[in-house]
Amino acid sequence: MEWFTDPILCQRRIDDLHAQPAYATAFAAFQDGEDLSQPQMKLMRQMERATARLAELKGLSQVASGDRKRPWEAAVDLTQLPGSDRLELTRNDDGKDKGLRKQFLETQHHFVAHSASQLALNDAKKELEGVELPETVTLALEFLSETAEKGVARAKARAKILALVSDKGPEVGWKICEKLERKSYADDEEDEKLMRKAEKEVKAEKMHAAQAAAAKGRTKGLGRGLELSEEEIGEAIPLCEQDVPVPRVAGRLRERASFWRTFVRSSYVMSWIERGFNLKFKDGRAPPRVHLPNHVSAVRHTAFVTDAVQECVLMGALREVSRKPRVVLPLMVDDSRDKLRLIFNGKWLNAFLIFPKFKYEHLQPFVDLLRKDDGLFYFDYKSGYYHVDLHEMSRTYVAVEWQGRFFEFCVLPFGLAPACWVFTKINKELVGKWRGLGFRVHPYVDDFAFAVRAPTLTDPSALAVLSRIMRDVREAGWLVSELKSQLFFTRALVHIGIGIDLEGGVLFVPEKALNKIRACVSDLLRLFHRLPLRLVAKFAGLVNAQWFVLGGVTRLYARAAAVLIADTLTWGSWASHVPGTDALRTELEFWLTDGFRRHQRGIWEPRGAGLQLETVHADTSEVAWGSWLEQSFGGPELLGHSYLTMSDRLKSSTLRELRGIFDSLRAFDVAGRLRGKRVLVICDNQAVHFVIESGSRHQELQELALAVHDFCADHGVVLSSLWMPREFEARADALSKIRDHDDWMVNPAIFRWADPWIAGGWRHTRDRFATDKNCLVFDSAGAPSFNSAWHCPGTSGVDTFGQTDWRKHVNWCNPPFRMIGRLLLFLQAERAAASIVAPVWTFQPWWVLLCPDGVHLADCVVQWTELQPSADTFLPGLGRANEGGVGLPDFRVLLLRVSFDEREPAGPGIIGTGEQWAGLQFSVTDPLEMQLRADMLLAVSGTREASTMRGYSRVFVRYQAFCQDRDPPRVPVPADPVTVAMYLQYIANAARTFSVVKTASAMVFTAHDLALVPADRNPTSHRLVAAVREAAHRRLGDRRLNRKEPLEFAFVQSGTDEERPLSVQELQDLEDLEQLGSELEAVQIRPAEGQSAH
């Protein structure tokens, strides 16, 4: 490798390669576009590498010779740099690693060149001061200055890395650099997290994977690894389609950048709109030069490709260049349809690109917001990707060749891996703007569905919303495809392959999708003995695409197809043909007969108590199964047990466990506990959990999983499973191993401040999202009162959405923010109220429930305030499973009182930004006054004995429950005399002594006294209440056991057998009567006549 550092030896190597006959043959074959053999490809790569290295060495030698330096380069003195930079940039490694020494020299060269450019540009700017320059010249100078500055920074950073590698040794040094190096790629927090994750995955790959793919692809045209499958070709968006004209869309977003600046928050998105998207490469290294030949399909349709390329040039998607681009990628033609489609294959380039993984927005949050009186419409962009420009510096890497002419992409082409992420990220800003205005929208790439309240389909206000949205689309620069859009209101539509019918209240599988699946199944049955593997994959894809409507049945009844595909690819390819299996035939027949018997599901499924949770614990031994159903919703705990058949005892532990679960479900259904409910099955076999959810390639397990699914479908059971360690099934402590990522809480000081007033003067009685470690609500006895996600000490109920007592409590909710939408819909369904901690996240789908018009809070918000952000607004839980929810919030946080309860008054609030926030008020504006009111109540209550107040608190809880259980509910304080009289009569009917009635009356009096009710208006002084009290006294006050005097022997003996006097032992046993309470504490035992006490 001495030629790599010596230009003379490098030139000699080039001459030797030229002299080889094999190279001349290889070069001629390359010029003719023929496929090269492996040795020929090796020779071509050696020549390309040597030629590139010679050019680099010549550049370094020019810098090394002082007489050849440009004036500005001569002015760059490395010895005058600051200490750290001087040590790193003037270093010339003298070790044995020649490659490291070469990199030091290259880094010095780049630093000198970019520093010289900076000096030259600075001198030019000084000379041009006061001269009016054209805008293009000014922009060019700024661009060159920015490029030089970045070059200097990169050279310094590279020098530091090389110094570290030299000190630690290459083997250790490079590994350290890989762990420490972070690229400045993202401006906002969300992108930065995604990029970190992507970089970690990149650094786990091997260094030469991409180069190997490149060599393979160049050797055999596209190569097997770079071919597009039929599914990829079918889903690809064509560059051009036969007989379909496309308007010029390039640059439309950039031309309307002023509109985007009014609402875009991400500086990165704004840079894409203004300057185009710039590709980022793995490890910061650009891909090698490559020219991949076009697919043979493009040659077959030469006339079409020629016209299509010319049309792409006219629409601004391509531009012709005179020089050969760095990366030339292949074109192909899809002729499988009625019209020809020109496809760009970017697979080779994608191996070098770095981009984050991301998820498209799920459809369920949008469906949750739908109402029966909504109007639906949707639209689709026309050539959506072509609206996004490609950065000038990235275009040389995305190019094609046709008939000896080279064309670079000016826009974002489909087939480039980051394209979907970039396109979705840009549209997310526009979606956030719409949601901030209260519009309900679901985006999916370039498809957008909207729901607008429209009592009639021609409602003027709804039409105004539609007009406003389409105006935003035009002002943003997007072109809408009228053929693929529905720009009028309807009650039913098909969006991303899912049917939505508001009048019927269902989600359904569209008829077009049903026909596709049935046609595919028919083709598979017809070709069953020699199945094309691609056709099997098409069937599996079509079925799984309907998971959102059909649920888990799509996984269970496409399992055999997935197994057949996986087994075939271990020895064959996608072009293989295989015989069908019996399991696959069963699945195909199912989809032809019963598969779509339930081809729809309800949009507004039962919520809250309508879909209760039952939990089954199951375990199986070698000979029998046992299970128990937890006690819940008034039902007792049930136990189940039975023996396995002799054949089942010989099967695997997974099959035995699944058999035990199936038999347990059938056993408990006999008691009527499972029908129409959610059932959670907990087992200690992890494989069973996956079999229930996704099926198994094992035939017996698959058949049993299908039997479980069919049983649940017939009985209306929504089944889910959970694996836990074996110790946990012993009802032990395995829950402690589960990490709750929502284990954080509101600062208790904030809760104590808000508790007295946010609920209209009522103290909260139930914390709905808590654990025993972070509960903020306690009852009168000091015990925590909360609902939790798991069983834990002191919980008042598991699964807060399954509780039926929301209207009986003053609810405090600090939910996981992702569940706020579900919580609001639950409160509306249950006609309940709650105090909710919620962030101001206008991008979230549930924001339109709180702020329907983007300005005013919904009528259900009856009280609210904004919490002042601080580092301790949110505190971590005891387990500290999630540190992401703590620290200083970078968003606004609201404390809301949301009520759908007719017992609480409704009143809209106002929300906005800037000065609007400063003017917001709640009923008591002075925090000091709030605290003083709370302290005053505590001080007044302190005038009573503590034991008395504790007793009254317990009685008040029962009194409050009595008032809330009435229909209509009654207000406990201030109460009307009729309510108090009824409560005292209710107490008297069940009391044995008058003291119970007397205590209840005193409690009501004290409660109204603490509430500052005047004495003459206290309901306990009303004549009706006094009459009830007197009647109770007359009826209960004369009972014999109510007297505070010793028991006479005659009274004791009167309750025994008159023919037999009590014995001495029996008389002594009467001492146990002292344990009956204060009413019998003075009992005295007197012996009978003629008997003496011993």
Mean pLDDT in residue range 306-328: 88
Residue ranges of the chain that CATH labels 3.40.50: 739-934
Let me know: does 874 contact 891? Beta carbons within 8 Å. no
Q: Return the CA Rg of the chain.
A: 39
Contacts of 654 (CB under 8 A, 6+ apart): 685, 687, 688, 691, 701
Instruction: Give the range with max mean pLDDT: 349-363, 701-715, 1068-1082.
Output: 349-363
Rounded to whole angstroms, what are the CA distances from 697 to 550, 584, 704? 21, 11, 12
Residue 928 in this model has a pLDDT that exceeds 80: no
Q: What are phi and psi of 449, to 5 degrees?
A: -115, 140
pLDDT of the residue at 833: 93
Distance CA 811, CA 765 (A): 6
Mean pLDDT in residue range 660-674: 76
Cα 301 to the center of its chain, rounded Å: 45
Residue 731 in this model has a pLDDT that exceeds 90: no
Least confident among 6-10, 725-729, 740-744, 862-866:
725-729
- The top-level CATH class assigned to 942-1042 is mainly alpha
Distance CA 398, CA 329 (A): 7
Per-residue pLDDT of 755-767, as tens digits, reads 888 887 788 999 9
Least confident among 163-177, 338-352, 819-833, 958-972:
163-177
pLDDT of the residue at 73: 45
Q: Which residue has the tokens 């490559």?
A: 290
Domain 608-735 has CATH 3.40.50.2300: no
pLDDT of the residue at 520: 92
Let me know: does 1060 contact 1071? Beta carbons within 8 Å. no
Let me know: does 424 contact 444? Beta carbons within 8 Å. no
Q: Which residue has the tokens 């101001």?
A: 840
Rounded to whole angstroms, what are the CA distances from 896 to 226, 822, 852, 910? 55, 16, 15, 12
**Is residue 908 exposed (0-12), middle (13-18) or buried (19+ Cβ within 10 Å)?**
middle
Between 885 and 452, residue with greater pLDDT:
452
Instruction: Give the range with max mean pLDDT: 479-488, 792-801, 1009-1018.
Output: 479-488
Distance CA 83, CA 69 (A): 25
Work out the number of other CB atoms within 10 angstroms of the CB of residue 206.
8
CATH architecture of residue range(s) 210-501: 2-Layer Sandwich (3.30)
pLDDT of the residue at 347: 86
User: 135 by DSSP, 3-state: which?
Assistant: helix
Mean pLDDT in residue range 919-948: 51
Mean pLDDT in residue range 44-62: 68
Residue ranges of the chain that CATH labels 3.30.70.270: 210-501
pLDDT of the residue at 477: 92
pLDDT of the residue at 1092: 40
Between 184 and 232, residue with greater pLDDT:
232
pLDDT of the residue at 1093: 38
Between 1067 and 105, residue with greater pLDDT:
105
Tokens coding 217: 């692809």
Let me know: does 222 contact 235? Beta carbons within 8 Å. no
Least confident among 35-44, 508-517, 609-618, 1063-1072:
1063-1072
Residue ranges of the chain that CATH labels 1.10.150.130: 942-1042
| Amino acid making up residue 390 | L
Between 1001 and 972, residue with greater pLDDT:
1001
Let me know: does 434 contact 442? Beta carbons within 8 Å. no
pLDDT of the residue at 386: 86
Would you tell me the crossing angle of helices 460-476 and 419-436 to the nearest 10 degrees? 140
Q: Band of the pLDDT at 398, cuts 50, 70, 90?
A: very high
**Is residue 319 exposed (0-12), middle (13-18) or buried (19+ Cβ within 10 Å)?**
middle
Between 206 and 705, residue with greater pLDDT:
705
Strands 744-746 and 874-876, by their bridges, are antiparallel
Q: Band of the pLDDT at 1046, cuts 50, 70, 90?
A: low
**Is residue 403 exposed (0-12), middle (13-18) or buried (19+ Cβ within 10 Å)?**
exposed
Distance CA 1000, CA 887 (A): 47
Per-residue pLDDT of 187-233, as tens digits, reads 444 444 544 454 455 444 443 343 344 334 333 333 444 555 554 54
Let me know: does 184 contact 198? Beta carbons within 8 Å. no
Distance CA 186, CA 541 (A): 35
Q: Where are the alpha helices (DSSP H) in 65-188?
A: 71-74, 83-89, 98-127, 135-168, 170-180
Cis, bond preceding 852 (omega within 30 deg of 0): no
Residues present in the chain in total: 1094
**Fold entry, domain 739-934:** Rossmann fold (3.40.50)
Distance CA 618, CA 660 (A): 7
Give the percent of the chain with pLDDT over 90.
Answer: 17
pLDDT of the residue at 1008: 80
Closest CA to 985 of 957, 943, 1025, 1022: 1025
Tokens coding 603: 């949009």
Residue 279 in this model has a pLDDT that exceeds 50: yes
Between 254 and 695, residue with greater pLDDT:
254
Q: How does the average pLDDT of the chain come out, rounded?
A: 75
Distance CA 658, CA 549 (A): 26
Distance CA 622, CA 808 (A): 48
Instruction: Give the range with max mean pLDDT: 631-635, 819-823, 1052-1056.
Output: 819-823
- Which helix H or strand E contains 984, and what residues bound it? helix 977-990
Q: Band of the pLDDT at 377, cuts 50, 70, 90?
A: very high
Residue ranges of the chain that CATH labels 3.30.420.10: 608-735
pLDDT of the residue at 686: 79
Q: Band of the pLDDT at 324, cuts 50, 70, 90?
A: very high
Work out the number of other CB atoms within 10 angstroms of the CB of residue 262.
8
Q: What is the dihedral of CA 661, 662, 668, 672, to 10 degrees?
A: 140
Per-residue pLDDT of 403-433, as tens digits, reads 889 999 999 888 888 989 999 999 999 999 9
- Which helix H or strand E contains 197, and what residues bound it? helix 189-203
pLDDT of the residue at 913: 31
Which residues on adjacent β-strands are paired with residue 1090?
none
pLDDT of the residue at 834: 94
Q: Band of the pLDDT at 670, cuts 50, 70, 90?
A: low
| pTM for the structure as a whole | 0.56
pLDDT of the residue at 188: 44
Least confident among 85-94, 739-748, 1070-1079:
1070-1079
pLDDT of the residue at 180: 47
Q: Band of the pLDDT at 397, cuts 50, 70, 90?
A: very high
Between 829 and 685, residue with greater pLDDT:
829
Residue 937 in this model has a pLDDT that exceeds 60: no
Closest CA to 422 of 245, 231, 253: 253
| Amino acid making up residue 815 | P
Mean pLDDT in residue range 361-389: 90
Least confident among 248-262, 713-727, 1025-1039, 1054-1068:
1054-1068
Least confident among 228-237, 250-259, 586-595, 974-983:
228-237
**Where does 872-919 show beta strands of DSSP type E?**
874-876, 893-899
Residue 925 in this model has a pLDDT that exceeds 70: no
Residue 960 in this model has a pLDDT that exceeds 70: yes
Tokens coding 657: 């466990």
Per-residue pLDDT of 779-803, as tens digits, reads 888 888 988 876 556 778 778 888 8
User: 701 by DSSP, 3-state: which?
Assistant: helix
pLDDT of the residue at 118: 76
Tokens coding 679: 């059932």
Residue 355 in this model has a pLDDT that exceeds 50: yes
Between 297 and 30, residue with greater pLDDT:
297
Per-residue pLDDT of 620-648, as tens digits, reads 888 777 777 777 765 677 777 677 777 88
Mean pLDDT in residue range 1080-1085: 38
Per-residue pLDDT of 526-548, as tens digits, reads 999 899 999 999 999 998 888 88
The DSSP string of 630-693 is PPBTTBPPEEEEEEPPHHHHTS-HHHHHHHHHHHHHHHHHHTT-STTSEEEEEES-HHHHHHHH
